[in-house]
Amino acid sequence: MDVGLCRAKVGRLTVTGELGYEFNVPASQQRALYHILMEAGRGMGLAEIGYNTVNSLRMEKSFGIWSKEFTWAYTPGMSGLDRFIAFAKKDFIGRDAALKERDQVPPKRKLVTLEIAAEDADASAFEPVWLGERRIGFVTSGAYGHFVGKSLAMAYLDRDITAPGTTVEVHIIGIRRKAKILPGPAFDPEGIRMRA
């Protein structure tokens, strides 16, 4: 798609949970694209936001990202990405391992979203998650969800402790904070805003 004088690949996708688009252009055109978009949106209230805002929005939607929730260390069954595997396809790299995980040896951990009773600090990454004196997992990322008014985190927990509503504790800055496993995203769980 041509955006001003920039040739862009545009995809309708979002990491914030809102109806959004991602523009990809060569690095040499990024500044020009930025100015074109800011000028076009001037009368519509377009504003810049930073990384922490994006992180807050994605946490409210339980959207994992590469390098945090999705890495080589976590399997599709652990992360929930197994729902995108075409198991009927005859041959692909990792097929045998994916089938084994699905049919024989379920993953030991599962990705969940937590609502944390945090008062003065939010989880960020690698904080331990406890059930009594048993360490049952760790946080991959966290942030305060401004729309829902709650401290949120995503965490990999032992598979037997992932039922929604289960109360656990997250160690944040030396203090164990009560946390509850959510059944899904804290904000717009049906994804209506992304389809508006």
Closest CA to 178 of 110, 129, 127: 129
Average pLDDT, the chain: 95
Tokens read off for 70: 């999705």
Q: Model's pTM, two decimal places? A: 0.90
pLDDT confidence of residue 14:
86
pLDDT(42) > 80: yes
The Cα–Cα gap between 56 and 122 comes to 11
pLDDT tens per residue across span 128-155: 999 999 999 999 999 999 999 999 999 9
pLDDT confidence of residue 20:
87
pLDDT tens per residue across span 163-174: 999 999 999 999
Domains of the chain: 2-48 (no CATH), 65-181 (2.40.30.110)
3-state secondary structure of 133: coil
pLDDT tens per residue across span 13-36: 888 888 888 999 999 999 999 999
pLDDT(45) > 80: yes
The Cα–Cα gap between 193 and 57 comes to 12
